[in-house]
Amino acid sequence: MFGLPGILGTLADLGVVVIGFGLIIFVHELGHFLAAKWARIRVLAFAIGFGPAALSYRKGMGLRRGSSEGAYLDRLRAETEGIVPSDVAAISPTEYRLNWLPLGGYVKMLGQDDMDPGAVSGAPDSYQNAAVWKRMVVISAGVVMNLITAALVFITVFMIGLRVEPAVIGAVSPSSPSASAVATNAQELGVTTPGLQTGDVAIQINDSTPETYNDLIVATAMVGPRQPVRLSVARPGVDGILNFEIMPERSEVTGLLDLGIGPSISTRLFDVDNAAQRLAWDRISAVYGLTGVEPGMTLASVNGVRASSPLALGSAARSSAGADIDAVFRDDDTGRETTVTITPEPELNTDQVLLNGAQTPLDHLLGLTPVMSVEPKQIDDPKQGLQRGDVFARIGAVEFPSIVEGIREIRAHTGEPLSVDVLRGTGPVLDRVRMTISVNVERDGRIGFIPGDTRDGDAILALPPPSVTDRSGEQRTPAGAAIIQSPGQRIVAVNGAPTATLLDVREALRAATLDSADGATVTLALESPTPQRPVREVAWTLDSGAIARLHALSWTSGVPLAMFEPEQVLLQAEGPLDAVGKGYRQTKRVMISTYLTFARLAQGTVKVEHLKGPVGIAHLGTMIADRGFIWVVFFLGLISVNLAVINFLPLPIVDGGQFLMLCYEGLRGRPVPIPVQNAVTMAGLVLIGSMFLFVTFNDVKALLGV
């Protein structure tokens, strides 16, 4: 019952997108139609959609259900045989059709049939009897109309204004390429800290000027294989432009090349639209210590200081030394304020380790690595019998795995059943109930849960990674590898001080080494996971580098930035001429990106799975519709450009392939032989049909979340 308004809203959005897509097709076919009329070629049908006609109109015969073609041909035969008086001249030879399957359209001209190249005509007003250059105009007119339409759409959009995410760097993933990149002119400008920083304003990327954050994402995804992204940024407080060359890495989420950055975030929390979202919000807010804070509120201050960004929560946490911080959220409509107390979460060391050939971030404490669990704060219910907070005692052949080991073992069994042991309940992990569960690993290498770890629930340890790579690219063996040589051990004390969690171990180690910058030896009490649970003491020597990394650890607020809306600015032209310029640049940018997509497909940096068919486009359109009608208009402009580009590719069946054949005819003085045209047409049908089925299959899979 609660979901009905959301379903109706989605259906309404889908209706708007389908109508808009139909208008784009109409404009494309109108270009062919008008050009054919100009060239005095007889047009037999102007159709929107494929399949049987739902409605048709023919001058002299009127509007009717189904097609009027049969009745028209009967009239012609009857007149020829003298059965009826000659009145056919008053009937138009052109039928205007709306077909049942609204996924395209066509203009049918006398003597021109993409599906049957041999269907030629010797009539004076046939397609074949028009001059080659006129036929070129007819074939290219649809593409030209789409480009003109897109330009007009973009001009209109930029005159009204479009709310977009600015080309400003938000969060930077600690283990990403952007975090460790060093500006080529850093020393010249006096910058000593590596990496991009929150608040950096992108001035140029790969020789183009980005207007939105999405421009940064697209430019990165479209970079060539093994080529860096050239990025210039303006940084507050730096007198000059910083120039970076960053080698992107493939994102685990999107599969595209990525820099590891996020958009600039506003101080406004996301709002909710229905009861289901409200229930999810109540749960999320309770999990992250924001009970009483309402959706759509704005972060007003942190520890009494006005907040201009939600990153103020992180800044306050880092300087808190673990003490509670106070955050004030305000309802901008009513002025009501809610104050919450947030307890900062201690950080662990974050370095990179190899996972299936790629560098992947791993949290640890000088090599002491927590065991993988089902994230206790996971909002959606885990699948396949798993529960929030389950700790993995075994995944396949790996005992007490870390997150990286666990993911590696799960992916090694992609598409297969996998046996796992979990420890379920409360209290010390080794006291919990151990149970075996059989799960099926999906084709994407997942089994239906969000990975977490035991850092704040227990001091049980996985095997330390054999080596880690830090932000500077330095590779080293973590200190913990010297003392933890089997998984499942628990640290129950540090220098005699009891420890219940890995975060307790962190604080005990910091206290024990507070005045030992040059090195220190601490005593750990390790409990074995065997049934007798024996405890042994080991001496652990930490050098100055390990102690420095230990005391460099700070705290985080724990509040996810994903709870806040992205920052938005109004992208609007200063006048009609500026709107024309913006429309032209946007049209050109989309055209180049579309061509680059096909180039990157061949080079392998973009996968076929990233392409969208009609189902994927419709789904994407319904999501964009939530951003407002002007975004739907902008989206249709993008589709119009893409349709123009794809239609003019040198492929059989589409306009580009037909244009190439006309070029051949113009140069050789005769058309491409019919057998060759038939072979090319069949190859084109197989190619385009296979691609259509493939992208539709992927679209449906993505829609169903499988």
Q: CA-to-CA distance for 114 and 134, rounded, in angstroms?
A: 18
Q: Which pLDDT value is given to residue 459?
A: 93
Decide if 23 is inside a domain: no
Number of compact structural domains in the chain: 3
Count other C-beta atoms under 10 Å from residue 131's C-beta.
10
Task: Indicate if the pLDDT at residue 251 is higher than 80.
Answer: no
**Interval 229-255 mean pLDDT:** 87
Same-domain pairing of 632 and 683: yes
Q: Which of 75-89, 130-144, 272-286 has the lowest mean pLDDT?
A: 75-89
Question: In angstroms, what CA-CA distances link 663 with 135, 674, 685?
Answer: 10, 16, 21
Same-domain pairing of 694 and 639: yes
Same-domain pairing of 700 and 611: yes
Q: Which of 571, 597, 618 is the last residue of a domain?
A: 571
Q: Which pLDDT value is given to residue 231?
A: 94
Q: Which pLDDT value is given to residue 516?
A: 84
What is the SS3 assignment for 204-232?
EECCECCCCHHHHHHHHHCCCCCCCEEEE
pTM above 0.75, yes or no: no
Task: Indicate if the pLDDT at residue 255 is higher than 50.
Answer: yes
What is the average pLDDT score of the chain? 85
pLDDT digits (tens, 9 = 90+) for 149-192: 989 998 999 999 888 889 999 888 877 888 888 999 988 998 88
Same-domain pairing of 589 and 663: yes
Decide if 136 is inside a domain: yes
Structure tokens at 551: 């005391």
Q: Which pLDDT value is given to residue 82?
A: 62
User: Band of the pLDDT at 706, cuts 50, 70, 90?
Assistant: low
Contacts of 435 (CB under 8 A, 6+ apart): 421, 422, 424
Same-domain pairing of 601 and 689: yes
Same-domain pairing of 579 and 706: yes
pLDDT digits (tens, 9 = 90+) for 616-655: 666 666 667 777 788 888 888 888 888 888 888 887 778 8
User: Band of the pLDDT at 606, cuts 50, 70, 90?
Assistant: low
**Interval 422-430 mean pLDDT:** 90
Residue 197's domain comprises 169-264+567-571
Q: Which pLDDT value is given to residue 77?
A: 78
Same-domain pairing of 683 and 618: yes
Q: Which of 537, 571, 605 is the last residue of a domain?
A: 571
List, in sequence order, every residue forming a beta bridge with 365; answer none if it has no partner: 368
Q: Which pLDDT value is given to residue 2?
A: 36
Same-domain pairing of 187 and 259: yes
Decide if 360 is inside a domain: no
Q: Which pLDDT value is given to residue 610?
A: 62
Same-domain pairing of 326 and 248: no
Q: Which of 538, 564, 590 is the last residue of a domain?
A: 564
Q: Which pLDDT value is given to residue 641?
A: 87
**Interval 677-700 mean pLDDT:** 76
**Interval 545-567 mean pLDDT:** 89
Helices (H), 565-613: 576-603
Decide if 48 is inside a domain: no
Contact 159, 563 (CB under 8 A): no
Decide if 435 is inside a domain: no
Q: Which pLDDT value is given to residue 409?
A: 92
**Interval 345-366 mean pLDDT:** 83
List, in sequence order, every residue forming a beta bridge with 329; answer none if it has no partner: 299, 338
Same-domain pairing of 256 and 294: no
pLDDT digits (tens, 9 = 90+) for 57-74: 999 888 999 998 888 887
Task: Indicate if the pLDDT at residue 1 is higher than 60.
Answer: no
Same-domain pairing of 593 and 694: yes
For 207-224, give one letter per residue: b (16+ CB within 10 A) or e.
Answer: eeebbbbebbbbbbbbbe
Decide if 19 is inside a domain: no
Task: Indicate if the pLDDT at residue 3 is higher than 60.
Answer: no
Task: Indicate if the pLDDT at residue 289 is higher than 90.
Answer: no
CATH number, domain containing residue 276: 2.30.42
pLDDT digits (tens, 9 = 90+) for 458-489: 999 999 998 888 766 778 899 988 899 899 99
CATH number, domain containing residue 200: 2.30.42.10
Task: Give me the phi and psi of 705, to 5 degrees please.
Answer: 70, 30
Q: CA-to-CA distance for 195 and 192, rounded, in angstroms?
A: 10
Same-domain pairing of 643 and 599: yes
Decide if 211 is inside a domain: yes
Decide if 425 is inside a domain: no
Q: CA-to-CA distance for 150 and 641, rounded, in angstroms?
A: 6
